[in-house]
Structure 1
Amino acid sequence: MNHVRHPHETVLDSEPPHLMGRWKRDPLMRALTGIGNIWFPLWGSLAPLRETRVDNGIQVLDVVRREVVARDENVIALTFAAPDGSVLPQWNAGAHLDLLLPSGRMREYSLCGDPGDRTTYRIAVRRIPNGGGGSVEVHDTLRVGDQIRIKGPRNAFPLALPGYGSRAQRLRFVAAGIGITPILPMVAIADRMGLDWSMIYTGRSLDSIPFREELARFGDKVEIRTDDEHGLPTAEDLTGPVPEQDAGLTLYCCGPTPMLESLRTHLVDRRDIELHYERFSPPPIVDGTEFTISLASTGESVTVAADESALTALRRVRPETPYSCQQGFCGTCRLHVSAGSVDHRDGSLTEPERDAGYFLPCVSRCRSDGLTVDV
């Protein structure tokens, strides 16, 4: 129809006329309009709109068990459960929790319980008196009956099983000290599935090694080696006997940076061997150069040495700067840069976040003379 020559003249703010032309307004439509004018305001008062709850990923759990798991009493295991006993989100071996401690610190701890248990989470924490304060707070403040806020689980160290994402025929687990925590559920799964596996577990002394009694059930598949009796292990000690061609071997390792670097260097030319690892300390600085960070709020500046992280330098003038993993994946230390060019070295920030000026000072560095951060 040509709407210019035949304009639409129907009045839309009142009821239409009766279909047969008997009434100016259709009685049925007038009745429905009257009911609607009463019903909808009444229903609106009885069922008002409510704000939708935003899921921030935080759960509040109860501390249901606390136990000492190393004979030197420096390592405790904490077990958490939902206050109502409900099922917890699923996790896989290698996953960790973010603990939001009462002080405001956030720290990450590997889950070391049974992934098949959907009612509890278990972590283990070694007390480090001269660390960042998180482990001391956990040891000194968290007791059975307390509540703790957590995020996760998240997994940055997944176990790929033979036939399920891995060509491995033989698994070798390497753990040092508290590095046993992500390895413990991996070992249990490998044994439960009847895989060909072995493990070496190192520590300063027998008394410092947690979960020894729990590992005893695996017999001679687990070798425990201590520095005070055998000295520091070599890379060959950690890998065990390895043929010149051993395409079926995969290693999973968690421990201090020197041990991981020793293994990585030892296997750098072995394309036939898979190496998966998780460190519990910051990675070494590679190709670092000195630069300056300025604080936009005060004009203060601090020099970042070539062999230290921007986070370390920032915490000299702002000790309260939040951080957690120090490895570039948790995002806790994220800051906004208002001037300067960032050398991004994390695997966490998205391109839009980087384009918006964000960076992670725990691992990223500077491509210009300096950076100005909004602190």
Structure 2
Amino acid sequence: MQQIKKIDWWILGPYAVLSTIGLLEVFSASSYRLMMTGENPRSLFYRQLIFMGISWVGLALTFSVKLPHFLKLPMAQVMLGCSALLLLMVKIHLFGVTVNGAQRWISIFGIQFQPSELANVALIFYLSYYFRHPLETKKELRAPIVVTLLLMTLILIQPKVAGAILILIIAGVLFWSSAISVDMGLLLGVAAFFLMIVTSGVVLLLGKFHLLPHLFQHVYERIAIAGNPFADFNGVGYQMSNSYYAMYNGGFFGRGIGNSITKNGYLPEAETDFIFSIIVEELGLIAAIGILFLLFLICLRLFQLSTRCRNHQAALILLGIGTLLLVQTSINVASTIGLIPMTGIPLPFISYGGTSYLILSFCIGVALNISANERRQIHAGKAQNLE
């Protein structure tokens, strides 16, 4: 009972609502495609439900474990080592699985998952431990920089450009908050922004003349078509164009859950990267904004807790998890509505995918654990003052 009283419902409540909505939308978005291929239309629904059950059990266990266990160096080392090993295994044909031209998954005993999802969290725990105390010299930045670049490179060669950018943003936020000055952080941020613009220009130039390595040719195609996907409706722009149609069909109030037209063969695998489009079509723009509000509410709560947390390492973990959720949500929605090229980044707690849901649920469990620990410390301090 005491544990339940310490639950942070500002985190757990939105998480539970988003998970329920995600489960329903995964069933709605995938049922027609599965039925047309002769599969059970509820198969992905059942798989996601199983992963949700496992994730909720894992969340409860994570919440009940004493916080210091998550703050020790072995925890960060094991997560980091496993991430690097699994990312290397992606490129081994015995384990690596290629889907839509990209080898980002590994399969062990028939279970497929994306190691890049684990790498995001591993980096958060590693950098949080490394920056738990102020650095004395700039030479101490070498190790975290090397680790960040190593993970980023292993993800980039899958290829998963958006995943590499996500790693870089998480690292940048944690570096900025702990290891570099505000002025230097702003300078590096501006430099990174211009570097992305220049890189995009170089990709467009090289891609136009077919000078890009075949591994990254898809990056050129997606950047080139981002401004007007209808220019290549039956080619690279097919998914984005149908995403626009789906959102147009939904309007403000939607067609009703299960009544999407676009999922019926027009938007391939709509339950993953483009599930936000189906949500807008079925539930409407207002409901979709409400879903985004719940996601941003979790992020806001995590950032708020990180500013109040007495343990600097735990505060950095909260900041990293909040950044991961915020950036992942922003990238998914921005790519869905055409602000940036398609990325392949799932919408947290909504998109189909056991790996993503399991690992993000672990993050929620850690956040709830930190929040409960802070409440215990506050109550203990008040009790001492009364004495």
Give the structure-2-normalised TM-score: 0.26
Give 1 or 2: higher helix fraction: 2
Structure ranking higher on relative contact order (CA contacts 8 Å, 6+ apart): 2
